[in-house]
């Protein structure tokens, strides 16, 4: 085919593929089978390979993902992407309505929309062509994820009018895509995503767009960032205009004349939301008229003309089929409810911790009971209560064992504890769980050594303690089931790389009782080497501000153990680093920073930085980050969806910053 014929055919393929794509992903009314679409797309890609200058940025071939990026560039939003204030009950909604009426009078209406649980993004078009897409970031500056957003097939790469504007939307992962993705992860023995929101965010922040393309993401557009001279006078008109331009908007929206209609809409979707093919976590309520929105204005963080009603934790009923017992790395016996699979807050739940025997007795839980399940904080499944009226008489009372289910040692209840504990130091369950903890992300972070692989290695007697991990040989691993050459090589590389970790990672991984990740870092910063730490006295330890009597005693006892000394020597011989590699602890007197000497609490979703990154930066500037709010707290950083900690801070009149203020101070 000559160049002229190819150019004509490429244009034809653009038009037909865009039309088929729109029918399938926006209208949900495909007119051709997938095989025909795929065949035409392959033809287009072949022509573009043959004539590279015919490939344009709005080509349907962009949907499959391009080359791997080195990093994401920063993007400044022309119009800030503000977060919304929250309402949690009818009273909050009526307060919002009262504030609106005080400002604009009684002649106005609302638009209610489903609050999609995904990742807020901004899309910019120039002359009708999609040129840039970005994350919300801190509301002012986000990250350029254009290549990944092009793989979402419901985003038009070219619209029907040659106009330049910016639109806002929520990218998300449908429930079906989420379940398929986690099934693949489980087959690869990888950590599954906790929920579709995390999966969507993780997919859009991949440097390889082909990964995003494989995840089958979707989007709903919910606003024009700037209506300009379009003549649009209301939010609802803007949504209608977006539809006419070929964008996908959510059809489950309603214009409401009164707050009573708003409340009716909210209550209806509180019950119906489990039936949707995607997750929602609330309802967004906006004043419809743009002139009235402008009159109401915004605060530094959120518009006064909109609010997000957040659903209460979803509760569902299922059957408790059994209670399973497990021994943790510290010997604690934990009962776990085995449930009929049920979908709660976006994921399928089959297990829920029952914590201890006292809780089972307190809630009168029996095997065979119908129970109410919810996710604490929309994350951790828990049994709320038993439905006694559904009992048939066939339910069985559960009795805790007297001996360890793994090693048959007698279980004990230590003074002051509610948990039963196996105190046999050679209990195989404790050893196995200790190994799993050692390789975990916050410890030595050995990629590829998940729970299943550790259990397999332990079962095959290839490892008995953590030092054995550094003695594993390629030929041994290749003999194991589902261990191919590539996976074995990757695993050995990850084990080798872990030898370079800083001391605090190793110290936390060893699982010294009462020593968490924060205390491990404090100890590593204070003593710099494992050699020094192994010789310190209890008094030297308690002189450190964050180390109490109980922790100090546990550390001294741990390093007095001859088996521990032998283990450390074996790790040293294997080449594992035993020195602290991080920055030196900051002395408050040496720091010219607002945070110096202050106690800070982080709460809610921090979007620009991870929680650990924010904590590290504050501590580098002389601050102390703690997990709970008290009278000793100087400052609370409240991200999106901040809850009880923010309420307590307000109650105690503690200074509260939003994420924008935090970033401003950190960037000084």
**Residues in the annotated binding site for Zn(2+):** 404, 407, 422, 427
Q: How far apart are CA 127 and CA 258, in angstroms?
A: 39
- Dihedral angle sign, alpha carbons of residues 209, 173, 205, 53: positive
Where is the binding site for NAD(+), in residues?
Answer: 34-38, 83-84, 113, 136, 170, 286, 310
CB neighbours (10 Å) of residue 644? 10
Give the single-character DSSP code of 358: H
List 636's β-bridge partners, or say none.
Answer: 601, 656
Strands 635-638 and 655-657: parallel
**Residue 313 contacts by C-beta under 8 Å, 6 or more apart in sequence?**
345, 374, 375, 376, 377, 378
CB neighbours (10 Å) of residue 638? 24
Asked if 638 contacts 657 with a C-beta cutoff of 8 angstroms, the reply is yes
**Residue 571 contacts by C-beta under 8 Å, 6 or more apart in sequence?**
466, 467, 470, 506, 578
State the residue for tokens 């009278």.
Answer: 631
List 280's β-bridge partners, or say none.
Answer: 116
Alpha-carbon separation of residue 175 from 274, 347, 395, 408 (angstroms): 11, 8, 34, 43
Where is the binding site, in residues?
Answer: 34-38, 83-84, 113, 136, 170, 286, 310, 404, 407, 422, 427
Phi, psi of 118 (to 5 degrees): -150, -140
The candidate with the shortest Cα–Cα distance to 78, out of 15, 151, 153, 132, is: 132
Asked if 477 contacts 483 with a C-beta cutoff of 8 angstroms, the reply is yes
**Residue 618 contacts by C-beta under 8 Å, 6 or more apart in sequence?**
595, 600, 625, 666
Catalytic residues: 115
């Amino acid at each position: 085919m000559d160049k002229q014929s190819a150019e004509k055919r490429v244009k034809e393929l653009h038009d037909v593929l865009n039309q088929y794509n729109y029918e399938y992903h926006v209208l949900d009314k495909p007119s051709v089978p997938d095989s025909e679409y795929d065949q035409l797309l392959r033809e287009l890609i072949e022509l573009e390979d043959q004539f590279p200058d015919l490939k344009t940025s709005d080509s349907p071939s962009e949907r499959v993902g391009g080359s791997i990026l080195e990093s994401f560039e920063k993007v400044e939003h022309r119009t800030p992407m503000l977060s919304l204030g929250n309402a949690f009950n009818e009273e909050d909604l009526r307060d919002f309505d009262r504030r609106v009426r005080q400002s604009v009078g009684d002649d106005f209406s609302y638009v209610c929309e489903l609050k999609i649980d995904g990742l807020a993004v901004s899309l910019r078009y120039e002359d009708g062509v999609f040129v840039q897409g970005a994350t919300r970031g801190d509301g002012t500056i986000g990250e350029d994820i254009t290549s990944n957003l092009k793989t979402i097939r419901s985003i038009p790469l070219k619209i029907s009018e040659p106009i330049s504007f910016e639109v806002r939307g929520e990218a998300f992962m449908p429930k079906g895509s989420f379940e398929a993705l986690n099934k693949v992860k489980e087959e690869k023995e990888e950590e599954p995503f906790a929920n579709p929101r995390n999966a969507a965010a993780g997919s859009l922040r991949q440097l390889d767009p082909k990964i995003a393309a494989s995840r089958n993401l979707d989007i709903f557009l919910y606003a024009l960032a700037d209506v300009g001279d379009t003549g649009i006078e209301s939010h609802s008109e803007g949504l209608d205009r977006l539809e006419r331009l070929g964008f996908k908007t959510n059809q489950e929206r309603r214009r409401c004349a009164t707050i009573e209609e708003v409340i009716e809409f909210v209550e209806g979707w509180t019950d119906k939301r489990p039936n949707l093919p995607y997750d929602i976590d609330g309802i967004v309520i906006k004043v419809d008229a743009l002139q009235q929105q402008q009159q109401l204005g915004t605060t530094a963080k959120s518009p006064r003309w909109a609010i997000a009603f957040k659903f209460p934790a979803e509760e569902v009923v299922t059957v408790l089929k059994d209670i399973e017992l497990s021994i943790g790395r510290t010997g604690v016996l934990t009962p776990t409810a085995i449930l009929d699979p049920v979908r709660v807050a976006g994921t399928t739940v089959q297990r829920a911790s029952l914590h201890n025997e006292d809780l089972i007795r307190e809630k009168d839980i029996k095997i065979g009971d119908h129970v109410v399940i919810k996710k604490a904080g929309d994350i951790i499944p828990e049994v709320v209560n038993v439905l006694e009226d559904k009992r048939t008489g066939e339910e069985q009372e559960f009795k805790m064992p007297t001996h360890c289910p793994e090693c048959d040692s007698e279980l004990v209840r230590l003074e002051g504890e509610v948990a039963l504990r196996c105190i046999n130091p050679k209990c195989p369950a404790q050893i196995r769980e200790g190994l799993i903890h050692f390789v975990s992300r916050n410890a030595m972070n050995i990629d590829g050594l998940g729970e299943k692989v550790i259990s397999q290695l332990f079962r095959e007697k290839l490892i008995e303690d953590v030092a054995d991990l550094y003695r594993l040989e390629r030929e041994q691993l290749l003999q194991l089931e589902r261990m191919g050459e590539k996976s074995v090589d990757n695993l050995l590389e990850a084990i080798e790389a872990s030898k370079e970790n800083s001391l605090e990672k190793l110290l936390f991984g060893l699982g010294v009782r009462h020593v968490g990740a924060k205390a491990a870092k404090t100890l590593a910063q204070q003593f710099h080497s494992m050699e020094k730490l192994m010789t310190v006295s209890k008094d030297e330890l308690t002189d450190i501000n964050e180390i109490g009597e109980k922790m100090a005693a546990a550390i001294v006892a741990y390093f007095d153990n001859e088996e521990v000394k032998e283990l450390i020597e074996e790790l040293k011989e294997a080449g594992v680093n035993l020195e602290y590699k991080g920055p030196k602890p900051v002395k408050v007197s040496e720091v010219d920073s607002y945070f110096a000497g202050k106690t800070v609490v982080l709460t809610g979703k921090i979007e620009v930085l991870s929680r650990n990154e924010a904590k590290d930066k504050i501590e580098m500037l002389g601050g102390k980050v703690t997990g709970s709010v008290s009278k000793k707290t100087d400052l609370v950083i409240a991200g999106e969806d901040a809850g009880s900690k923010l309420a307590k801070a307000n109650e105690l009149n503690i200074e509260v910053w939003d994420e924008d203020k935090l970033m401003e101070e950190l960037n000084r």
